[in-house]
Structure 1
Amino acid sequence: MSRLRERLARWIERRLPQPRLREGATNRPRRLVKRIIVFGRMPNPTFDYYLAARLEAQEMPPYQVVDIRSGETTALEAEGTFVILCRYASPSVLRWIEINAEHLAGVGLFVDDDIPAVVTGNDADFFYRLFLWYRALWPLRRLNRHLDIVWASTANLAANLACARAVVLPPAPPLALSQAARSDRERQSQPGSEILIGYHATGVHLEEHHFLRPVIAEILRERPQVRFEVFADRRAKSIWRGLECVEIREPMAWIEYLADANTQKIDIMLVPLAPSRVNDCRAATKRIDIARYQAAAVFSEGAAYGHSNEGTELRLPYNASLWRETILRLVDDSELRETVAAATHQAVMQLAWAAVPGLESLKPDKESNFAL
């Protein structure tokens, strides 16, 4: 039955709208870029992880950010404007693009998820899948007539968007977002003190909740000093009920989540990724959250975070026994936690430096970048 469902899901995916460049587009602006407008559901992590620092880079045109939920587009200047859609579009934004198409310097779309696979998959709840259809897929029927550039967050995702000839744009967070505000002295745990383990999941990781539950249950039984916190939506909450020393937290708005990292200390953070087509397209953005919390991380090995023989970070196969053993090692060894946390912090700093060149194709002095 699962194979039949998977085949049906793939059949549906192939018939869902996909990004495609307009006729004659070459992944470059149409003309000189005087300014940039970014449309999206603002504020959000996608903008902060991928676009904010690049738009702040030297020689980039001025930019502004517009929340698509406001519906206010009439006062926006279109002449010479390059539009970037951050995942989503609204009817009012689409109308504004259509009305001003002859005046725009171009239109680009940034995508950081295999959205058709999420829509046809099991992990996301019905209302989120409906939202993705309405805000991310359905608008493509109108938007594709105007697209000059499509950016994708990973090479695997770009391969899935082959019809759009997507350009890979890896995570590049602002340095301020990736640097921890607290001192090392505040971060270090004292021997024998309480250890907090966190799993900060979004609403599309139901399988990973099921994977972690017995692992955490055993760790809590074996290490009385451990507490566990998990972000869980209404479906995932039931998985964690009945365990002592577990705090189930409601998913937060992005601004609240950023503030939480300045007040909360987490010793170990978990990033399991079940084998799936959706997870194969994920980028390593969870590293950024972990660096802010100054935690030691355990990652699933794979396309997003690499493999077990690469560097100092802990990357494991999707095997419950290995996860249990590795988490226990981290609980018992504060020096190991410090080493692992430092490795992730260094990896995030390297991501941040990737923003320095900005978005080269949109710089106004790059005459050769303009499509003819």
Structure 2
Amino acid sequence: MVTPNAQTLVVSQGDNPSSDFFVHPHLAADGMRFAVAVLNGEPPPVATPLAGVVFVRYLTPAWRKWVEENRAQLGRLVFFMDDDLFDLGAHAGLPLRYRYKLWLLACRHKNWLQRMGVELWVSTPWLAEKYASWSPKVLQPQSPYTHSRPQKTLFYHGSASHGPEFEWLYPVFKQALEQDASLSVELIGNHKVRKRFADQPRVHVLHPMKWPAYQALLARPGRTIGLAPLLDNGFNAARAPTKFFDITQAGAVGIYADHPVYRPLVRHEHNGLLLPMKQQVWVDAILRLSKDDSTREMIRENAKKISHT
């Protein structure tokens, strides 16, 4: 028997727009408490009866087995889709790899879902009409941005020669993102950089670009803190402090390595931060600057005076 306070379990491939636009707001509007499980993770033990289980777009054999073994304690079963996932003909023209994913995680499970009496929720009247024999329920999209907080952009624009700096920054970004939900990270890097930072939330990796495109990028507003680490090696000894001008042009405050390259130009706490290459020191500085609007403004204005002379 389902208790009044029982939760609904939402099973999805991690954070995703389908859940945020449709499933989560629908459950919340109905006053339903819900928890989230990851599709590729281990299905949880069912200690107490659930109010229901909602599969968002996809299903796996492991979760099918879990449903069959625990059916009496799962309450209502629901499958939500916001694309035509069950019709192979509708997938013609899509990339072969994506078509295989749709077959593997959705299409081949259709008959099982119907045998198990799973309810169908869909995102549009078009889908509801196509699958009318299933008596689907149409969910209306809701904005997931209502309660989102403004983001401050922390950025590092490296090149292929900055591989060691990217690696050095990984734990810095990891700690900063964990401790300050208002921070996002912008990187310029190659496929290797994208893969390295793929497990971190709120990290955006831009492809390397030509100089005119980069100048236009810096002219767009919205960046808050720019980083310029330099590890002590022979190649870095020959660099010039041009990142000072890049960071200032971006409208941001710079944190620079306390290195001979930057010492002649950057005065600590005046027109930038000049820090030793110690990761925790950089994390602490990022978190402090993120919360101190007045200090950022003062440093930024002082940097602009130098940059524009």
Q: What is the TM-score of this pair, normalised by structure 2?
A: 0.49
Q: What is the TM-score of this pair, normalised by structure 1?
A: 0.41
- Higher-Rg structure is 2
